[in-house]
Amino acid sequence: MSKLILTRHGQSVWNAENRFTGWVDVDLSEKGVKEAEKSGELLRKLNIKIDISYTSYLKRAIRTLTTILQKNKLELKFNTAWQLNERHYGSLTGLNKEETKKELGEEQFKKYRRSWDVSPPPMPENSKYQSNFSPLNSSIPVGMTPFTESLKNTYERVVPFYDKEIKKNLLTGKNILISAHGNSLRALCKFIFKISDKKINELEIPTGNPLIIEFDKDLNIQKYFYLDKARAKNII
């Protein structure tokens, strides 16, 4: 039986400021560091052997992963993949969510934020935020870097990566840890739990709370649960 451990990074500085972050490479807040530490402690108590770890190109996810590995006295050895990056919020990047909701109206705001296939207007090529992206992004193949994304677009990069790189390790009984983002994990959960296009807008992924998914040898789900029960969210 293999286990997939999905962890959304701890609260980031821009999460705390209620801003659309997307691909901007902000760090964890003080609260986020504590959430990452607690994630590591909760995993240590379960005594789960972590065989392979994956994370995105963004420091908030990388720092969460390294904190978890350190808490479990594991070697800081992991795989980074741009496909696990947060959804690109286009021209919404950097904006305060409450102010944006007032400006756009609640209906349009919800479409941009939570719909399956509606993406915000693209980020201008001269946006000041381009310089705040991860330096690791320079290794992304030419033409693959988006200027905006819907959740569907995010799914179209996350799921093929899962199929090609992660699934084979689960099939050999490995326990896999992924430290990623609210939307890249929503996309992956949509696939794993077979959530409909309509229902996926209801899925919330809490920060810094590992979700354990246990599979049989054919990757049928046997059990799943959040480690911090007080902060758990329902899986649709």
User: Which residue ranges form the domains of the chain, and what is each CATH number?
Assistant: 2-231 (3.40.50.1240)
> If we measure between CA atoms, which residue out of 222, 211, 165 comes closest to residue 186?
211
**Could you tell me which residues come within 8 angstroms of residue 61 by beta carbon, excluding any fewer than 6 positions away?**
9, 55, 84, 179, 180, 181
Average pLDDT value for residue range 40-66? 96
State whether residue 214 is helix, strand or coil. strand
Cβ(139)–Cβ(81) below 8 Å? no
More confident position, 235 or 89: 89
Residue 183 CA, distance from chain mean position: 5
Between CA 36 and CA 22 the distance in angstroms is 19
Q: State residue 1's pLDDT score.
A: 86
- 12 pLDDT band, cuts 50/70/90, is very high
Cα–Cα nearest to 155, from 119, 123, 107: 119
Determine the pLDDT at residue 104: 96
CA dihedral 174, 177, 182, 186 (to 10 degrees): 10
Q: What digits encode the pLDDT tens for the residues 195-219? A: 999 999 999 999 999 999 999 999 9
The four Cα atoms 64, 66, 71, 74 give a dihedral, to 10 degrees, of: 150
The burial class, CB within 10 Å (0-12 / 13-18 / 19+), for 27 is: middle
Token pair 């705390």: residue: 16
Query: Annotated active-site positions, please?
Result: 9, 86
Q: How far is CA 99 from CA 109, 175, 225, in A?
A: 10, 42, 35
Q: Is the pLDDT of residue 36 over 90?
A: yes
The answer to whether 8 and 181 are in contact (CB under 8 A) is yes
List C-alpha distances in Å: 228 to 6, 42, 233. 13, 8, 10
Rounded CA gap, 134 and 63, in Å? 13
| Dist CA 161 CA 188 (whole Å) | 10
State residue 213 phi and psi, 5-degree precision.
-120, 120
Segments of 133-220 assigned E as strands: 176-180, 211-215
The CA-to-CA distance between both ends of the chain, in Å, stands at 23
What average pLDDT does the structure give for the chain? 96
Q: Which residues pair with 223 in a beta bridge?
A: 214
Report pLDDT digits (tens) over 141-192: 999 999 999 999 999 999 999 999 999 999 999 999 999 999 999 999 999 9
